[in-house]
């Protein structure tokens, strides 16, 4: 199995704040079976969580530093025992760093998605801004510096603000093995997103305040809402008033209707004016360092893929057709007008010049066996470096 890597010149990153991705691909049934079982995945993956085969990765894994609130398995003489409740020790002031995921688009098969699904993770590199986030007035916390226990208000805003937020999610649209698929995926994260909480929130309140956008079609069928590989705004808002392409980041969505300081309330916002990346890997890096399993101040599902890890690329033998990536623009790829730039009404591929007349030259364009096997990028971002052997395969593109 071969890999393609593109490293941008220092000081000349690509910006993935807005993007259009078009790719023909096929997942062999053997790969789908391996993903379901987690075979070849990083240590810690279970059969229930499965594993992810990347289609494309943007940038390296990111180092994430967070303060921790650890549970009774953490021993600290300064804060032991808990005079209020020995079975629910919390400690604060500890800092932990580890590698989170890169930005990627991939395929997952597991017990929840036995027919497969798309997964997307866009690491913004930006910390959310929070005010008034807390566990509650009855939680018992030990100050790691002074050793003093208290059962009073604990503001967790600073803890969440240390986490580089991401747009992450699984799409429910199935990805049938051994079948040619066409994925069109586009996003516009330039607006960022925001939410708020309340100590007495109810079903009559909309806790999402602003959103970003994602558009998708799979096999010439528009996908919206819960089929998007993202956090759909309506999924985390009590009032279902947001559009089918409105999405929020992981932290902002998780904190919608969260516990709030009764005096000042709680707000969470994420600004994403730019998301620079210095490298692209297809289908992904040779290996992924898994995140440690540990109790953190930030719930694990706000940080990375939880216990679902990227399958190391040598085992993720996805078969590719043409791949194109445009940056700096987005489009409603679910609309029939845009879909017809890539595929006709009979499911046959449209000449690449059609979409390029509409969107301009893509940053990444890999089409044809020779270009794939040599890493020759017909786009504007420069050629890829090949590692290993990229094997050709025979297929007739079409749906």
Tens digit of pLDDT for each residue in 223-249? Answer: 999 999 999 999 888 777 899 999 999
Are residues 349 and 343 in contact, defined by beta-carbon separation less than 8 angstroms? yes
Report if residue 134 sits inside a domain.
Answer: yes
**pLDDT for the residue 72:** 38
Point out which residues pair with 166 in neighbouring strands.
123
Cα–Cα dist 267/194, whole Å: 7
Report if residue 156 sits inside a domain.
Answer: yes
Cα–Cα dist 158/171, whole Å: 31
Are residues 27 and 178 in contact, defined by beta-carbon separation less than 8 angstroms? yes
Report if residue 305 sits inside a domain.
Answer: yes
Report if residue 356 sits inside a domain.
Answer: no
Place 79 in a pLDDT band, splitting at 50, 70 and 90: low
Establish whether the linkage from the previous residue to 81 is cis, with ω within 30° of 0: yes
Place 346 in a pLDDT band, splitting at 50, 70 and 90: very high
Task: At 398, list the tokens.
Answer: 């079409």
Place 30 in a pLDDT band, splitting at 50, 70 and 90: confident
Structurally, how many domains does the chain consist of? 1
**pLDDT for the residue 229:** 94
Report if residue 351 sits inside a domain.
Answer: no
Q: CA dist 143 to 88, 158, 379, Å?
A: 14, 15, 54
DSSP H/E element including 223: strand 221-223
221-245 per-residue burial string, b: 16 or more CB within 10 A, e: under 16: ebbbbebbbbbbbbbbbbeeebebb
Look at the alpha carbons of 87, 88, 91, 97 in this order and tell me if their dihedral is positive or negative. positive
**pLDDT for the residue 76:** 47
Cα–Cα dist 368/156, whole Å: 52
Residue 392 has pLDDT above 50, yes or no: yes
Report if residue 28 sits inside a domain.
Answer: yes
Task: At 76, list the tokens.
Answer: 């600290």
Domain that holds residue 61: 3-326+362-387
DSSP helix, strand, coil percent of the chain (3-state; round to 5): 15, 35, 55
Averaged pLDDT, 196-217: 81
**Average pLDDT along the chain:** 78
Averaged pLDDT, 131-145: 52
Q: Does residue 88 or residue 189 have the better pLDDT?
A: 189
- Write down how long the chain is: 399
Choose from 72-81, 171-180, 297-306, 386-395 the range with maximum mean pLDDT. 171-180
């Amino acid at each position: 199995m071969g890999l393609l890597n593109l490293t941008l010149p220092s000081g000349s990153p690509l910006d993935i704040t807005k993007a259009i991705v078009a790719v023909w691909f096929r997942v062999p049934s053997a790969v789908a079976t391996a993903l379901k079982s987690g075979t070849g995945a990083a240590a810690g993956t279970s059969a229930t969580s499965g594993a992810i085969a990347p289609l494309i990765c943007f940038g390296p894994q990111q180092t994430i530093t967070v303060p921790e609130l650890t549970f009774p398995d953490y021993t600290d003489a300064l804060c032991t025992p808990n005079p209020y409740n020995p079975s629910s020790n919390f400690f604060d002031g500890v800092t932990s760093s580890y590698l989170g995921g890169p930005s990627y688009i991939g395929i997952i098969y597991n017990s929840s998605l036995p027919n497969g699904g798309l997964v997307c993770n866009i690491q913004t590199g930006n910390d959310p801004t929070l005010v008034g986030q807390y566990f509650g007035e009855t939680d018992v916390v030990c100050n790691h510096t002074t050793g003093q226990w208290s059962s009073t208000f604990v503001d967790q805003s600073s803890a969440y603000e240390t986490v580089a937020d991401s747009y992450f999610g699984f799409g429910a649209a199935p990805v049938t093995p051994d079948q040619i698929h066409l994925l069109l995926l586009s996003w516009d994260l330039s607006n960022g997103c925001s939410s708020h909480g309340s100590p007495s929130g109810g079903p009559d309140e909309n806790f999402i305040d602003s959103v970003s956008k994602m558009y998708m079609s799979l096999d010439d069928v528009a996908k919206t809402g819960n089929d998007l590989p993202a956090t759909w705004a309506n999924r985390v808002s009590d009032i279902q008033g947001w559009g089918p392409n409105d999405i929020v980041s992981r932290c902002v969505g998780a904190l919608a209707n969260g516990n709030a300081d009764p005096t000042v309330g709680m707000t969470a916002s994420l600004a994403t004016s730019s998301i620079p990346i210095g490298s692209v890997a297809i289908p992904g890096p040779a290996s992924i360092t898994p995140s440690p399993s540990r109790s953190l101040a930030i719930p694990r599902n706000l940080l990375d893929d939880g216990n679902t890890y990227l399958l190391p690329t040598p085992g993720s033998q996805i078969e590719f057709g043409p791949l194109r990536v445009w940056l700096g623009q987005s489009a409603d790829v679910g609309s029939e007008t845009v879909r017809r730039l890539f595929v006709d009404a009979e499911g046959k591929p449209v000449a690449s010049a059609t979409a390029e007349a509409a969107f301009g030259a893509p940053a990444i364009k890999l089409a044809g066996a020779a270009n794939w096997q040599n890493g020759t990028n017909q786009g504007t971002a420069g050629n890829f470096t090949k590692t290993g052997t990229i094997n050709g395969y025979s297929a007739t593109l079409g749906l």
